[in-house]
């Protein structure tokens, strides 16, 4: 259930990123605060790949979903 909750938070964050005019309130701040420790290391690792460095797309969300699915399958 924890992995599903993390995936839901990351998905909500990804959807909110499509709307740049979303107000920065305590809810969005908490969402970023909860998901950034997961996404920041992945984003940093992906930034080191020169092909992905120049693309305007953040692939860290996709990679996070893949990693969380691997963890889920290892636990089960």
Task: Give the residue-averaged pLDDT of 22-48.
Answer: 87
Q: Yes or no: say if 4 and 71 are a contact pair by the CB < 8 Å rule.
A: no
* Distance set, CA 67 to CA 5, 20, 22, 61, 73 (Å): 14, 27, 28, 10, 10
Q: What is the mean pLDDT of the chain?
A: 87
Is-contact 38 64, C-beta < 8 A?
yes
Nearest to 67 by CA among 2, 1, 7: 7
The pLDDT tens digits for 41-67 are 998 887 777 666 677 778 889 999 999
Instruction: For residue 4, give both structure tokens.
Output: 């599903």
- pLDDT value of residue 20: 79
């Amino acid at each position: 259930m924890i992995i599903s909750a993390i995936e839901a938070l990351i998905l909500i964050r990804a959807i909110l990123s499509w709307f740049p005019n979303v107000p920065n309130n305590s809810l969005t701040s908490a969402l970023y605060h909860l998901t950034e420790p997961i996404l920041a290391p992945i984003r940093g690792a992906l930034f080191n790949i020169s092909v992905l460095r120049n693309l305007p797309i953040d692939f860290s969300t996709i990679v996070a979903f893949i990693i969380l699915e691997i963890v889920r399958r290892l636990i089960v």
